[in-house]
A and B are shown apart, each in its own frame.
Chain A
Amino acid sequence: MDNIFLEKSDNSPKVIMDKNNALIEFEGRSYPENTFAFYRPITEWLKWYFKFHTQPTTATTINFKLVYFNSATTQIIFEILDIVEEANNKNIKINWFYKEENKNGFEDYEDYAEEFPRLNIEAIVV
C-alpha cells in the first residue's frame, strides 16, 4: 500500500502514514462529519502495515497530536490502539501530546494508557 499523507482541514487532522520512515501521526482537529469513513483507509493501512511491512529492527513511532475531537474519533483511537496491540510488535513508540493546562488532554491520555498498558503510551506536554 502507498503512504498516506492528508493535509489538515478545519475539522479533520493532518495524517501521516509513512512506511519508509516508520512514522504515523495525527495532528489537529478531528470531527469530520463521516468520521468512520474518513478513518477507514487509515485503519486498513495500519492493519496492512503491521502485518506485512514492519521489521523487528525498525522502530515505529505513532504520534497523537489532536486538539478537539468528537466521540467517533474517541472510538477510532481505541480501534487504532487495538490494531497496534494485536500486532504484538515490541518496537513501537506511542506518544500522546497535550497542553499542560489541558486537564482533558491528560485524562484522555490516562484512559488510553490504562486501557493499553502493554503499549507504554507516553504523555508529552507541549
Chain B
Amino acid sequence: MNNDLKVCIQIDDKTIYEFSGKIDEQIMVQSANHIEKLLINNGAKIDKIQNVFELFIETIQNMLNYAYNSMKLENNKRKVFCNFTLSYFTANNLYILDSCNFITVDQKKVIKHKVNSIKDLDDASLRKLIRQKSRSKVDHHEKGAGLGYIIMTRRSSSPIEIQFIPYKKNILKYKQRLTI
C-alpha cells in the first residue's frame, strides 16, 4: 500500500477510511477493495456496499479525469493528488464520503451546472435521464456521456454537497460530500 495511506478501523461515527496523497488506478482499486471489506465487516447490506463502492470509484475517476493537477502516465493512465475520508454514522446507517481536489475556475461552472440541474430530480427522472443521455449521444465526449454526477445523485441518500474554495489564480479547491 502507498505510504500516504492511513487506515483507521474505528467505527463509531468516526472516520473509517482516510487517504491523503497521490492516487492512481492501482491505489484506487486497493482502496476500493479495502473499503468493501470494511463495509462487509460492518454488516452493511449489499446495496449499501455497492453504492459506497461505486460512488467512491466515480469520485476518484472524476478526479483522475478532470482535476487540474492530474498527471498523465504511460498507457493513458493518470495520477492525481487528492484526499478523501469515509465516515460511518451509526444512528442513521449513513456513510459520508468527503473528497477534495484541485480544479480550474472553468470547471466550477460545469460542475455547478451539472449538480444543480439534477439535484431536485426524483429517482424515476434520474433513471430516465441516464437512459436518454446514454442513447442520445448528446453531451458525449471521449470520457463519457456525463453520467457520473447523475449516477452519484441517484445512489446518494441526500443531494450532493459541493464547495469551491479559492486556492490561487484560476485554481480552486473542490470539496464534495456524498451521503450514502
By a beta-carbon cutoff of 8 Å, the part of chain A in contact with chain B is 10-11, 31-37, 67-72, 74-75, 78-79, 82, 99, 101-104, 107, 111, 114-115
Contacts and interface: CB of A to CB of B under 8 A. Distances in A.
Interface of B: 25, 28-29, 32-33, 45-47, 50-51, 53-54, 57-58, 61, 64, 75-78, 127, 130-131, 134-135, 142-145, 147-148, 150-151, 155
Contacts, number: 75
Q: Which 4 pairs across A and B sit closest by C-beta, in order of nearness?
A: A78-B134, A71-B147, A33-B25, A10-B29
B50 A68 contact: yes
Contact of B151 (A67, A74, A78, A82): A74
Given A33-B64, A33-B77, A75-B145, A102 B33 contact: no
Contacts of A69: 54
16 contacts: A10-B33, A32-B25, A33-B28, A33-B64, A33-B77, A36-B142, A36-B144, A67-B50, A71-B148, A71-B150, A72-B147, A75-B134, A78-B131, A79-B134, A99-B46, A111-B131
Contacts of B155: 104
A28 to B, nearest CB: 13
B144 A103 contact: no
B134 A102 contact: no
